[in-house]
Amino acid sequence: MVYAKPNKCNEWELCTVVLEHKNHTPTPSKSWHIPNYQNEELNKCNVARNLFNANAAGVSIAKIHRTLVMERNGLENVGVSKRDVRNVIDKKRRLKMQDGDANAMLENFDKMVANNQNFYHRYRLDDDGNLKDMYVG
pLDDT tens by residue, the chain, 137 residues: 788 888 888 888 888 888 887 666 666 566 656 666 666 666 665 666 677 677 777 778 888 888 878 887 877 777 777 887 788 777 777 766 555 677 778 888 888 888 888 888 888 877 767 777 888 87
Q: What is the pTM for the complete model shown?
A: 0.43
Spatial separation of the C-alpha atoms in residues 114 and 99, rounded to whole Å: 25
CA distances (Å), 50 to each of 2, 6, 12, 44, 67, in order?
A: 44, 52, 51, 11, 12
- Check whether residue 84 and residue 110 sit in a common domain: no
- Check whether residue 85 and residue 128 sit in a common domain: no
Output DSSP code: residue 100.
T
- Check whether residue 65 and residue 92 sit in a common domain: yes
Spatial separation of the C-alpha atoms in residues 111 and 21, rounded to whole Å: 64
What is the domain range of residue 132? 101-136
pLDDT of residue 52: 67
Output DSSP code: residue 59.
-
